C-alpha cells in the first residue's frame, strides 16, 4: 500500500495538468460531480484496503511459507513475477466482466461517464476481497510476499496514465505489447463492439493471445449499460449487488438463481425479463446523468473535499505508527468519519432531504473526534482552536444553503457531444 499512498501527490499533480490542458483546449473532459465521485470511490477503496489487505495477505504468506520452492529475488525473477502478476490480473479482470457476481466487485471502476485520470482512482471498495485469490498460485510457486506486493503495486501504478483522452496512440511496437490509453479507452466503452474487451493490466499480449483484443475504431462512449444515477460512493459500490440479489429472490427455480450469479452480467430467465440486448450508442445520442447545485455549495464542497483528501492522505501515512498501528478502534473510527464525509458529499450533489441533519452531525462529530484525539498532547490547544474555527465557519457557511435541500434536485441528462 505504501507505494500507492506515496504516489498520491503525483496522481493529483498529473490530474491538475490534465485538467489545465483540457481547459486550455476547451475540452469537456471533466465534470466536478463526476470527478469528485471518482476520487471519493478511490478514497473508499484505500480505506477498505486498510482492513482487507492485511487479511488477504495472510493467505499469500501462508502458502508461500509452505511452498516447496523459495525463489530468489533477482531482476530476472522480478520480470518473471511481473509477467505472472499481469497474467493472473488478466484472468481476474476478464472473469470480473464475464461472471455476474464478480462484476459487482469491479463495476464501480466503469461507472464514470467521463474518461480522465480521476477514473483511474475510481476503484471498488471490495475488489481486493475477490482478486487476491487469483494471485495465490504465485505464492505456491515460491515468489516472496514482499516481491509480490512490490510488483503488484507497480502494475497498479502503471494503469494510472492510461486513463486519458489526451494521448492518442503510442508507437506501433509499444501498442502491440503494452496496454495504452487507446486500448484502455476501448475497455471502458459501452459501444457493443467494445464491451468486455482489452482486459490487460500492463500488457495487452494476453488479450491478443486469448481473443479479447479490440482496436480503438469509432469514438468511445463511456460508462455502463445501466447507469447507477448517483453520486453517493457508498451506494454505487453496492447498488449492483442489491439489484442482483433482489432479482435472484424473484425467480422460482434455484437453478435460475444460481445462473444469475455465475453467468454474464445482465443474464435473467424469461420470467423476469430475459436477456437484454446491447444497444448501439454514439457520443451524440448517449446521455449522461447529471445534477446541479448552487455556486456557494460548490465552493463549500471544494473546501471540504480538499480537507478530506488531506486528512485521508495523512491518516494513511500514519497507519504504520502508533497510536493507529496498535489501535483497531482508532483505525475504524477515523475510517468511519471519512466514509461519512464522502457519503454526505454525494448527498449534497443530489440535494437529498436528509443531508442537512447528517451534515451538521458530521461537522460536530468530526470536531469532537479530532479534539478527543489530541487531548493530552502538546498540540491539544492548537488542534482544538483550528478544529473549532473550521467547524464554526462550516456550520455557518452550510446553513446559508439549507433551503436548497427543501426541493428535490432536478435530475437531468446532458448530451455527450464527444
Residue 147 domain flag: yes
Residue 317 and residue 202 share a domain: no
- In the predicted model, is pLDDT for residue 417 greater than 60? no
- How many distinct structural domains can be found in the chain? 2
Residue 297 and residue 189 share a domain: no
- In the predicted model, is pLDDT for residue 13 greater than 60? yes
Residue 190 and residue 301 share a domain: no
| Bridge partner residues of 222 (DSSP) | 189
- In the predicted model, is pLDDT for residue 289 greater than 90? yes
pLDDT at 1: 52
**How far apart, in whole angstroms, are the C-alpha atoms of residue 93 and residue 248?**
24
414: DSSP letter: E
The structure's pTM equals 0.92
Closest CA relative to residue 186, chosen from 210, 174, 209, 169: 169
Residue 149 and residue 51 share a domain: yes
Find out whether 417 and 284 touch, Cβ atoms under 8 Å.
yes
pLDDT at 415: 47
Domain boundary among 176, 210, 244: 210
- Report pLDDT digits (tens) over 383-416: 899 999 999 999 999 999 999 998 765 555 554 5
Residue 166 domain flag: yes
- In the predicted model, is pLDDT for residue 17 greater than 60? yes
pLDDT at 66: 92
For the chain, percent of residues with pLDDT exceeding 70? 97
- Report pLDDT digits (tens) over 224-239: 999 999 999 999 999 9
pLDDT at 418: 46
Name the band, by pLDDT with cuts 50, 70 and 90, for residue 320.
confident
Cell, residue 374: 489530541
- Report pLDDT digits (tens) over 324-345: 888 999 999 999 999 999 999 9
Q: Kindly state the average pLDDT of the residues 240-249.
A: 94
Name the band, by pLDDT with cuts 50, 70 and 90, for residue 53.
confident
- Report pLDDT digits (tens) over 88-147: 999 999 999 999 999 999 999 999 999 999 999 999 999 999 999 999 999 999 999 999
Residue 411 domain flag: no
Positive/negative CA dihedral, 8, 1, 222, 245 = negative
- Print the domain residue range for 91: 2-210
Coil, helix or strand for 207? Answer: helix
Q: How many residues does the chain have?
A: 418
Amino acid at each position: 500500500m505504501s507505494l500507492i499512498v506515496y504516489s498520491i501527490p503525483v496522481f493529483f499533480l498529473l490530474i491538475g495538468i490534465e485538467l489545465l490542458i483540457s481547459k486550455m483546449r476547451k475540452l469537456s473532459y471533466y465534470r466536478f460531480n463526476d470527478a469528485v465521485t471518482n476520487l471519493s470511490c478511490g478514497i473508499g477503496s484505500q480505506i477498505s484496503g486498510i482492513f482487507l489487505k492485511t487479511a488477504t495477505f495472510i493467505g499469500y504468506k501462508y502458502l508461500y511459507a509452505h511452498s516447496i520452492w523459495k525463489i530468489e529475488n533477482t531482476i530476472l525473477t522480478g520480470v518473471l513475477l511481473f509477467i505472472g502478476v499481469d497474467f493472473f490480473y488478466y484472468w481476474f479482470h476478464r472473469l470480473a466482466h464475464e461472471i455476474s457476481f464478480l462484476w459487482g466487485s469491479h463495476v464501480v471502476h466503469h461507472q464514470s461517464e467521463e474518461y480522465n485520470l480521476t477514473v483511474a482512482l475510481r476503484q471498488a471498495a471490495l475488489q481486493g476481497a475477490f482478486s487476491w485469490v487469483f494471485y495465490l498460485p504465485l505464492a505456491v510457486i515460491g515468489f516472496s510476499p514482499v516481491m509480490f506486493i512490490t510488483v503488484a503495486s507497480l502494475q497498479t501504478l502503471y494503469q494510472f496514465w492510461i486513463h486519458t483522452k489526451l494521448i492518442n496512440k503510442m508507437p506501433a511496437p509499444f501498442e502491440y505489447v503494452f496496454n495504452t490509453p487507446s486500448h484502455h479507452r476501448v475497455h471502458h466503452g459501452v459501444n457493443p463492439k467494445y464491451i468486455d474487451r482489452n482486459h490487460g493490466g500492463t500488457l495487452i499480449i494476453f488479450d491478443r493471445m486469448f481473443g479479447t483484443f479490440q482496436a480503438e475504431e469509432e469514438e468511445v462512449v463511456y460508462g455502463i449499460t445501466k447507469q447507477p444515477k448517483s453520486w453517493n460512493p457508498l451506494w454505487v459500490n453496492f447498488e449492483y449487488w442489491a439489484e442482483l440479489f433482489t432479482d435472484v429472490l424473484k425467480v422460482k427455480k434455484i437453478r435460475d438463481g444460481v445462473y444469475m450469479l455465475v453467468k454474464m452480467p445482465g443474464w435473467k430467465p424469461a420470467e423476469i425479463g430475459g436477456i437484454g440486448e446491447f444497444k448501439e450508442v454514439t457520443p451524440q445520442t448517449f446521455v449522461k446523468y447529471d445534477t446541479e447545485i448552487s455556486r456557494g455549495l460548490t465552493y463549500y464542497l471544494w473546501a471540504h473535499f480538499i480537507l478530506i483528501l488531506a486528512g485521508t492522505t495523512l491518516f494513511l501515512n500514519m497507519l504504520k505508527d502508533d497510536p493507529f498501528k496498535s489501535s483497531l478502534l482508532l483505525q475504524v473510527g477515523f475510517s468511519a468519519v471519512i466514509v461519512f464525509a464522502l457519503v454526505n458529499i454525494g448527498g449534497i450533489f443530489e440535494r437529498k432531504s436528509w443531508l442537512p441533519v447528517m451534515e451538521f452531525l458530521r461537522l460536530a462529530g468530526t470536531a469532537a473526534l479530532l479534539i478527543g484525539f489530541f487531548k493530552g498532547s502538546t498540540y491539544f490547544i492548537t488542534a482544538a482552536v483550528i478544529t473549532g474555527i473550521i467547524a464554526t465557519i462550516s456550520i455557518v457557511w452550510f446553513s446559508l444553503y439549507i433551503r436548497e435541500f427543501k426541493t428535490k434536485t432536478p435530475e437531468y441528462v446532458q448530451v455527450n457531444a464527444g
